[in-house]
């Protein structure tokens, strides 16, 4: 790796951090020592590649990522999390910058992955059709209330031709709401609600339906019978799946080539003498 040297102290810190991030206990670190060392070495190889290619993380990018992560923690929780990994804030920020840089490098490397062809998508669909089988499905609109009386009162307004969402907005107490949902498969709902939905004609308003979640007024907007999704419907999903598989293989081969093409020396005697827990 050229003039870059990794000291024993740095390596110990990196190994502890790698073990912490991987959720490896102190007891398990000895068994996974070689794998953790390889992970750390790969980390430095990728960083060196990024340096040679002029890929960088700006201070603004670092601070934006820091604020985004910190937002989910109180100051005390964040401090305690760092203490668990035996890492101070300055070390953590260095590690964060490196993680961001590795992600940016990965994105750059992924530009070389060949796109998935139409023929590959079509071939996959034809040989994996059962993956795209779906049960009967409905897309529906509903109003949910806390009491049956509230639901029946709203049903009167809906029966007079008012839009369900408007009725919910005007008449609903704090516990009621109008919702328009995504596609729901048969078998994914409460039995009482499912029975009502899958027997309800498209467009018709249901009577009040009681479930463990409240009292519902339902309207089926669309319905799909059980079957296999069409090729156009499945294309995007197949393309994403095949590209992800290509990307994984490409990155593995790229990293293998990087290891083989980069000159570095490992002092195995020092590695043997190291103890992660100390």
**pLDDT of residue 269 exceeding 70:** no
Residue 70 or 196, more confident = 196
Q: What pLDDT is recorded for position 172?
A: 47
Q: 174 pLDDT band (50/70/90 cuts)?
A: very low
Question: 3-state secondary structure string, 29-85?
Answer: HCCCHHHHHHHHHHHHHHHHHHHHHCCCCCHHHHHHHHHHHHCCCCHHHHHHHHHHC
Residues 6+ apart with CB under 8 A from 110: 247, 250, 251
φ/ψ (deg, to 5) at 180: -120, 115
pLDDT of residue 1: 45
Ordered domains of the chain (ranges, CATH)? 8-114+241-273 (1.10.4030.10), 136-225 (3.10.50.40)
Instruction: Give pTM, 2 decimals.
Output: 0.63
> Which of 33-37, 74-78, 150-154 shows the highest mean pLDDT?
150-154
Model confidence band, residue 273 (pLDDT cutoffs 50, 70, 90): low
Kindly report the length of the chain: 278
How do beta strands 214-224 and 209-211 pair? antiparallel
- The residue that leads in pLDDT, 116 or 76, is 116
Residue 41, both tokens: 């070495």
pLDDT tens, 115-128?
Answer: 999 999 999 999 99
- Is 165 exposed, middle or buried, given 0-12, 13-18 or 19+ CB atoms closer than 10 A? middle
Q: Does the pLDDT value for residue 178 go beyond 50?
A: no
pLDDT band for position 228 (cuts 50, 70, 90): very high
**Cβ–Cβ under 8 Å, residues 46 and 55:** no
Q: 183 phi and psi, to 5 degrees?
A: -65, 135
pLDDT value at position 9?
67
């Amino acid at each position: 790796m050229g003039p870059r040297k990794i000291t024993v102290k740095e390596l110990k810190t990196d190994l502890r951090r790698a073990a912490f991030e991987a959720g490896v206990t102190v007891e398990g670190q000895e068994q996974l020592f070689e794998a953790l060392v390889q992970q750390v070495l790969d980390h430095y190889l990728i960083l060196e590649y990024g340096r040679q290619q002029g890929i960088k993380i700006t201070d603004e990018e670092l601070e934006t990522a820091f604020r985004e992560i910190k937002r989910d923690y109180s100051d005390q929780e964040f401090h305690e999390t760092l203490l668990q990994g035996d890492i101070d804030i300055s070390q953590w920020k260095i590690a964060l910058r490196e993680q961001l840089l590795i992600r940016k490098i990965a994105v750059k490397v992924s530009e070389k992955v060949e796109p998935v062809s139409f023929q590959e998508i079509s071939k996959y669909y034809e040989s994996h059709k059962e993956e795209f089988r779906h049960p009967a499905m409905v897309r529906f609109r509903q109003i949910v209330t806390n009491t049956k009386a509230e639901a029946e009162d709203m049903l009167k307004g809906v029966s007079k031709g008012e839009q369900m969402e408007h009725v919910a907005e005007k008449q609903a107490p704090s516990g009621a709401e109008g919702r328009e949902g995504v596609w729901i498969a048969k078998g994914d709902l409460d039995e009482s609600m499912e029975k009502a939905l899958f027997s309800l004609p498209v467009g018709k308003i249901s009577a009040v339906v009681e479930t463990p979640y409240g009292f519902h007024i339902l309207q089926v907007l669309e319905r799909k019978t059980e079957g296999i999704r069409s090729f156009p419907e499945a294309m995007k999903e197949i393309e994403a799946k095949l590209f992800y598989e290509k990307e994984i293989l490409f990155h593995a081969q790229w990293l293998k080539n990087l290891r083989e093409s980069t000159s570095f020396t490992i002092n195995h005697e020092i590695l043997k003498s190291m103890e992660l827990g100390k």
